[in-house]
Amino acid sequence: MSLDRLAGNGGTYFCEVTTEHTGKKFSQLLINTDAVFTTLTITTSAGDSISALGTTAMYGQNLSGRTVKQGSLLTAPQGSWFSALTMSSGDCIGVVTNNQ
């Protein structure tokens, strides 16, 4: 795993509730307050967009209809990133990485 990916050399970005967050590459999401995701998309290195809410092998986070508890850390598989997210409740910090 790349040190840039772990270190978040691209900084962090606050993602608030009910706002669609796109246009950034998040390697990790740190949940600040209990959150329910209505959209969570992973983009692969091949450019495919996959819903991370389901249970798709490797990319699925199994989060459909679940409350992700405060303090949880979600990570995208190496070579992919969270590219879009919307929450119906809660907020999180996205760790931006410049090296995917």
Task: Write the pLDDT tens digit of every residue in 61-70.
Answer: 999 999 999 9
Residue 49: pLDDT band with limits 50, 70, 90: very high
> Is 100 part of any domain?
no
Q: What are 74-94's pLDDT values in tens digits? A: 999 988 999 999 999 999 999
**Total number of domains in the chain:** 1
Kindly list the distances between the CA atom of residue 79 and the CA atoms of 22, 47, 73, 76, in Å, as whole numbers in the listed order.
18, 10, 18, 8
Kindly list the distances between the CA atom of residue 62 and the CA atoms of 10, 11, 56, in Å, as whole numbers in the listed order.
27, 27, 8
Q: Domain span at residue 12? A: 3-95
Contact (CB, 8 A) for 53 and 37: yes
Whether 10 has a pLDDT exceeding 70, the answer reads yes
Radius of gyration of the chain (CA): 12
